[in-house]
Structure 1
Amino acid sequence: MIPLGNVLVVDDEQASFEMYRDVLTPEGYKVEWAADRANALSKLHGSTWDVVVLDQRLSGEAGGDSGIDLVSEIVPTGAKVIVATGYADPAMIDRAFRDGAYDYLEKVPTLPALLRIKVRNAAEAIRERRLAALSAEDREKEIRDLWNAVRTEADHHRKGKLLEDLMVLLFKTVHGFTHVETRRKSRDEEIDIFIRNESSETFWVGEQSQYVIVECKNWSKPVGPSELVVFRDKIVNRGGRCRLGFFVAVGGFTEGFLTRSATFRKDDVLVVPVGPNDLEELVLSKDRNEVLKTLHARAVMSGNGH
């Protein structure tokens, strides 16, 4: 299975590493530390890394800015380099990009939020590249491996990321649902998966839903009606450009969720519940478009909208 994201932090201060680790581990990344140039090069050639967070002022023989000298050595490994700096000197930034750095990160009060975004973007670029290179056979194997990992992963954060990755890959196998983004955030809400509906098929065109959003819950317990209400609000808040959502719950749904769904029968918004058995069917199916239509029809007939 293609890893969620392996991050190497190259920084001579343990406190800095611990801060990066504490921010990134809950996001589902595996984070390791290299305190100096020699250790960094050893780890780089000993494992595969998706992202390297590199301190500009890493101490070394060349002085306090020797970290920047590592950029050109890291880039050929295929990892995305994010240079962390206390002061965004234009000359340093220009050199970093010339040497192949992916981005830079200023050590400002908003660093944790910026770190999450920049590492996520870098890791997703790497993962997209690897997924795009898969053959059809390998892609299907990746889907099955992800589903097995979702069912067995004990860490809550990694399980959530695995589930999102699984759903992204499943939807991308359906024609017209290939433009997918994850974890779209605003000040008051987060959307797990955001899909541009570019299908030319009459069935999906007829939904008159320019976008489709997906909620992923990796809970072991069933999801209740309050979560349904919150998700429907996310759909409604899209300015009329979204009328369709899929609610994916590994632990299934309570009777209250399904009962509450029936109260929306006169609404134009449709929420399609996707439980564990439905996920299994999607993973194993050779025609996921038809499976999604079947789930859609079931939601309509249950009085969940339309």
Structure 2
Amino acid sequence: MEEHEDARVMVIDDDHDVCVTLEECLSSLGLLVEGFTDPFAALRRVRKVFYNIIFLDVYLKEKSGLELLQEIHSISPISKVILITGYGSKELAIRAIRGGAFDFLEKPLDMDLLHFTLKRALSVQKMELDHNKALEDLRCAKKELLHHKSRLEKLNKQLTEANRALVTMARNMEITRKETERNMMWKIKSLIIPLVEELKENKQMKRYEAELVIILEYFRELTLGQGGDTKVVSSLSPSEMRVAYLVRSGVTSNEISRVLHISPSTVKTHRRNIRKKLNICNTNHNLKSYLKRRLHEQFSL
């Protein structure tokens, strides 16, 4: 019985000779065998060690084998108990099977029948153990799946709440941004533009007229919801930006020279640099029209 070499077997029989004979026979099959003539000692051992097969004599002097069968079954339900007796009867066999015995053998024991019964009991037990292990694996897998499901549901809930919070925060930020823009536009219209216009009309600020015009136009564009082209603004120097605003407004080079207090040649140099930086290579392209389109001109000075 190579496939069951590690199986543990117990023999309980108050007849010492029968007990020894069975021990020797079963040990020759490669099984681990322990014999007991004292049923109470055997029961204490069953509480400590698992036995695959237990051969139990029905008629024991100190305790009924059928009573012992019930106690063994309650302690180790997986163990297969095979009852043996020298006084067999149909009624006794029925009681034994109903009490949880795997099989019922009569003395004198037929070794071939004993061997067959033992092998069958071990095979059935192995199937039961495999079945129980499969059920336990399924229970563990189900428990793990439920755990993961719970975690995923919790995570999904947290993500949903986080998304809802982000949407609310974004909405509040947009409201705050619009409110800030409205306040800023109101201050520009009511405070800054009138102040710049007043400075522009001041004769003492005449020499800064061009700069004030540019500043005034910039703030007016802001209040209209328009800003200068970022490429134009980032590419040009402050001097070139002043020239570009004036060119866009239709001011001639001579007038620019006079307003900015620079020479006409310097104005031409700025115009060339503006074309170069903005990649206006075709000389047929009108600089004024280009700047109007790029700077979103909406009004004339």
Per the TM superposition, whether the score is higher than 0.5 is no
Query: What is the TM-score of this pair, normalised by structure 2?
Result: 0.40
The structure showing larger relative contact order (alpha-carbon pairs under 8 Å, at least 6 residues apart) is 1
Task: Pick the structure with greater CA Rg.
Answer: 2
- Which structure shows the bigger proportion of residues in strand conformation? 1
- Which structure shows the bigger proportion of residues in helix conformation? 2
